[in-house]
Amino acid sequence: MSAIDWSNLSFGYMKTDYNVRSYYKDGKWGTPTETTSEYIDIHMAATCLHYGQEAFEGLKAFRGKDGKIRVFRMRDNALRMQSSCHGIMMAELPVEVFEETVLKAIKLNERFVPPYGSGASLYIRPLLIGTGAQVGVKPASEYLFVVFVTPVGPYFKEGFKPTPVAILRGYDRAAPLGTGTIKIGGNYAASLVAGDKAHKMGYSAVLYLDAKEKKYLDECGPANFFGIKNNTYITPASSSILPSITNKSLIQLAEDLGMKVERRPVAEEELATFEEAGQVGTAAVISPILRVDDIDENKSYVISKDGNAGPVSTKLYNKLRAIQLGDEPDTHGWVTILD
């Protein structure tokens, strides 16, 4: 293997040594087993291919100054994957199988966990698919859970530098009572056209409005939204957004810092009042927002007046990273340290 340039990684796929798989058959999950193959051999009538029985997760592991590897909030991802299983009628994956498979995938690929100080991390991608054959629209009776890992740098190439986002009123990502609250591939397929359009126009992401009234902020394509004003952390409440584990963590950290927190519908016009705003997620961490352009309405909300990340976003970002890396104590029990 040629040496990895840890400090210049992008958010992309790199082949590692192993992935770990568990199969569900006859009503039972099998023992997670490693393989070096990057390919999956499945039946052409597998439900994941036709009817979208597919869910995934994203979490990260970090190497600390002490050389130890820390995984961030793994249990929360396991629980969210269970809610995805219920949402599209897949066999429920036990939390223990999720955790065992994730830990095994990290350990077997330990040499790919980026060094402390590189700014990079190990991205962990658990995937659950219906592999049993069906032709009628019905859930499968067989499933595959696979976890692969890949070292990554920032999701947005600008890293912690503010980027502009776009409101494109001609597209919805998820319906009000649809699948926006679970992490399934279909939501991302639904976001590709708008995302591509936004990228071509120079925006880092689409900021979706609620699909019913087109009045309230929902979330960005790959991340939740937050705004800051008057020492308050404000994030949309909506029935069509993914419950972000990063957002939940920042809410706790904001409270720890003595800030107020509001989780409520956020009307688009309120953008004009925010002192800071950002996209938040595992991949995005905090990606500050420079400006929001409502393209079809020809409106623009400038958030960062000087083009830099604001003081509150910076404080929250540093605090979160410090806990993830083990530089500050893990007072909320978010971190699993590998033996």
Burial letters 297-329, b for 16+ CB under 10 A, else e: eeeebebbeeeebbebbeebbebbbebbbbeee
Choose which of 48, 51, 58, 292 interacts with ligand COI (CB under 6 A).
Answer: 58
Nearest partner of 120 among 5, 219, 286, 250, judged by Cα: 5
Q: Which is nearer to ligand COI, 228 or 286 (CB)?
A: 286
Q: CB 43: neighbour CB atoms within 10 A? A: 14
Sign of the Cα torsion 212, 86, 129, 111 reads positive
User: 5: exposed, middle or buried (C-beta count within 10 Å: 0-12, 13-18, 19+)?
Assistant: exposed
Query: Which H helix or E strand runs over 301?
Result: strand 299-302
Interaction partner, residue 242 (ligand PLP, ligand COI, none; CB < 5-8 Å by kind): ligand PLP
Decide: is 283 part of the binding site for ligand COI (CB under 6 A): yes
Q: Which is nearer to ligand PLP, 46 or 207 (CB)?
A: 207
Cα(189)–Cα(25) distance, rounded to whole angstroms?
28
Q: Which is nearer to ligand PLP, 166 or 223 (CB)?
A: 223
Q: Which is nearer to ligand COI, 140 or 184 (CB)?
A: 184
Interaction partner, residue 245 (ligand PLP, ligand COI, none; CB < 5-8 Å by kind): ligand PLP
Decide: is 236 part of the binding site for ligand COI (CB under 6 A): no
Choose which of 222, 236, 288, 310 interacts with ligand COI (CB under 6 A).
Answer: 222
Nearest distance in Å: CB 133, ligand PLP = 29
| Tokens (6 digits) for 89 | 């009628």
- 3-class DSSP assignment, residue 287: strand
Binding positions for ligand PLP, 28-87, rule CB under 6 A: 58
Decide: is 281 part of the binding site for ligand COI (CB under 6 A): yes
| Segment lying near ligand COI (by CB under 6 A), choices 34-42, 66-74, 144-152, 276-284 | 276-284
Q: CB 231: neighbour CB atoms within 10 A? A: 12
Decide: is 282 part of the binding site for ligand PLP (CB under 6 A): yes
Q: Which is nearer to ligand PLP, 130 or 222 (CB)?
A: 222
Nearest distance in Å: CB 60, ligand COI = 8
Decide: is 195 part of the binding site for ligand PLP (CB under 6 A): no
Residue of 60, 104, 183, 319 with catalytic role: 183
Q: Which is nearer to ligand PLP, 246 or 287 (CB)?
A: 246
Cα(7)–Cα(121) distance, rounded to whole angstroms?
10
Binding mask 215-254 for ligand PLP (x = CB under 6 A): ----x--xxx-----------------x-xxxx-------
Decide: is 227 part of the binding site for ligand COI (CB under 6 A): no
Chain centroid offset of residue 13 CA: 15
User: 134: exposed, middle or buried (C-beta count within 10 Å: 0-12, 13-18, 19+)?
Assistant: middle
| Segment lying near ligand COI (by CB under 6 A), choices 140-148, 164-172, 255-263, 279-287 | 279-287
Which residue pairs, CB below 8 angstroms and at least 24 apart, start in 213-216?
214/169, 215/267, 215/268, 216/265, 216/266, 216/267, 216/268
Q: Which is nearer to ligand COI, 21 or 73 (CB)?
A: 73
> Is position 212 annotated as part of the catalytic site?
no
Nearest partner of 169 among 212, 200, 199, judged by Cα: 212
Binding positions for ligand COI, 126-185, rule CB under 6 A: none
| Residues designated catalytic | 183
Question: Where does this chain bind ligand COI (CB under 6 A)?
Answer: 58, 222, 281-283
Question: Where does this chain bind ligand PLP (CB under 6 A)?
Answer: 58, 219, 222-224, 242, 244-247, 281-282
